[in-house]
Copies of this chain bind each other. A is one copy, B any other.
């Protein structure tokens, strides 16, 4: 099963994820993508017969699964949920600065490029985000949140994160991520106070 991670098809998905992050879906050519993946051009339409749109859908789903683990790991490390989420923001700030502000969110990039142009791709983006939203909500529920509170809070948390990445990339500065981290943590803690008996 591990060989799936080294095959040509998987290299194409990983290259797509990387390129969509830095230059978006429309800004990435398939030839360039195949070259980056060190994959033969013939493999492109062998593995993705429906072309760029299919590749985009699968790259987005791939990205959704990959970063699902990061959200789950944040909660698994324990501590209150506010601190857990703040850790994710700080980790993202480090990751972004470490890549010279290239490695943004591949799903957000695809969304802004083609959500209004390709309905299948828009749906793929919605599903990818949903995977993360569910993971965040699950983490909050495990910390004592009622289900509907958890859903709403998760939407807010991921929104703040995605927007902060955009602003940080534009400014080439982690400030928006760090600023958002603090307020998001406080918002979670304020909400969590209602879940548990007051000390």
* Contact indicator A102/B116 (Cβ below 8 Å): yes
Residues of B within 8 A of A122 (CB): 169-170, 172
Interface size on A, residues (CB 8 A): 55
**A101 proximal to B (CB < 8 A):** yes
Q: Which of B23, B112, B156, B171 contacts A179 (CB 8 A)?
A: B156
**Interface residues of A, dominant DSSP:** helix
Among A168-199, those with CB < 8 Å from B are 169-172, 175-177, 179-180, 182-184, 186-187, 190
Residues of B within 8 A of A125 (CB): 170
- Closest chain B residue, CB of each to CB of A122: B170
* Contact indicator B26/A23 (Cβ below 8 Å): yes
* Contact indicator B166/A108 (Cβ below 8 Å): yes
The quantity of this chain's copies bound in the complex is 2
Residues of B within 8 A of A98 (CB): none
* Contact indicator A160/B160 (Cβ below 8 Å): yes
- Closest chain B residue, CB of each to CB of A113: B24
**A36 proximal to B (CB < 8 A):** no
Residue among A104, A156, A164 with max Cβ neighbours from chain B (10 Å): A156
Residue among A169, A171, A175 with max Cβ neighbours from chain B (10 Å): A171
* Contact indicator A176/B159 (Cβ below 8 Å): yes
Among A76-114, those with CB < 8 Å from B are 100-102, 104, 107-109, 111-114
If the complex has contacts A24-B113, A26-B113, A113-B113, are A164 and B167 also in contact, measured as CB distance less than 8 A?
Answer: no
**A158 proximal to B (CB < 8 A):** yes
Q: Which of B25, B129, B152, B167 contacts A167 (CB 8 A)?
A: B129
Add 7 more A-B contacts to A108-B166, A159-B167 (CB < 8 A).
Answer: A24-B26, A24-B114, A27-B117, A104-B115, A130-B171, A152-B179, A159-B164
A-B contact pairs, 25 of them (CB 8 A): A22-B116, A24-B24, A24-B25, A24-B26, A24-B112, A26-B27, A26-B113, A27-B113, A27-B117, A104-B112, A104-B115, A111-B169, A115-B170, A116-B169, A122-B170, A152-B183, A153-B183, A155-B167, A155-B180, A156-B176, A158-B176, A159-B179, A159-B180, A160-B160, A163-B166
